[in-house]
Amino acid sequence: MSEMWQQLQAWMNTHGAAAPFVRAVAVLILAWVSNVVTRQILVHWIGGLIRTTRTRVDDVLLQRDVLRRMALLAPVIVLYYGADALPGDQALVRQAVSATLMLVLLLITGAMINAFQELSNDFASASEVPIKSYAQIVKLVVYILGGLMTVAVLTGRSPWVLLSGVGALMAVIILVFR
């Protein structure tokens, strides 16, 4: 394997213009392979193990696609650490990959909230307390804060600046529609 890598390095040194393209393709292929492998391990292999257990918690996590969404983390992490090999402005590429990571984390969090909501319906006290409305409020807050964090990462500004701007906008809306 190391001999093949040395031959590839020697070829890239002799063909200087093609080297960035080869590195970018290698990072993209590595991200795709990491996606396939983690999806195979998390969704198919661990999912098969989950189906054989008698507990409901892991079944709900599988049904609500928590594992499938967790598998999305691997290619994003590969792209983040391989951003130096991708063409273009590395800071911009890292910002885009960081924003994608934030969105994947939001998807995972939303799926986990859905799973928690479904599991809480199994308890007798769930009929007395409307868990669904609380879960929706939590998801709304998480999505709004996650959206603000994603925009903050993309713009390079502090999330507090964006949050204060939203607060000022809400104050104006309250004054107008009072």
pLDDT at position 121, please? 80
pLDDT (tens digit per residue) in 17-45 = 567 777 788 888 999 999 999 988 888 88
pLDDT (tens digit per residue) in 122-149 = 776 666 777 888 888 899 889 988 998 9
Distances (CA, A) of 104 to 51, 94, 171, 176: 25, 15, 31, 37
Position 16 pLDDT exceeds 90: no
pLDDT at position 126, please? 63
Separation of alpha carbons 75 and 20, rounded Å: 20
Please report which helix (H) or strand (E) contains residue 149, including its range: helix 131-155
Distances (CA, A) of 17 to 11, 12, 20, 149: 11, 8, 7, 37
Q: Copy the structure tokens of residue 52.
A: 């054989």
pLDDT at position 7, please? 77
pLDDT at position 43, please? 81
In this prediction, what percent of the chain has a pLDDT beyond 90?
27
Check: pTM over 0.75? Answer yes or no. Answer: yes
Buried b (16+ CB within 10 A) or exposed e, 84-96: ebbeeeeeebbbb
Q: Which is more confident, 142 or 46? A: 142
Separation of alpha carbons 125 and 114, rounded Å: 18
Q: What angle do CA 46, 69, 144 make, to 5 degrees?
A: 150
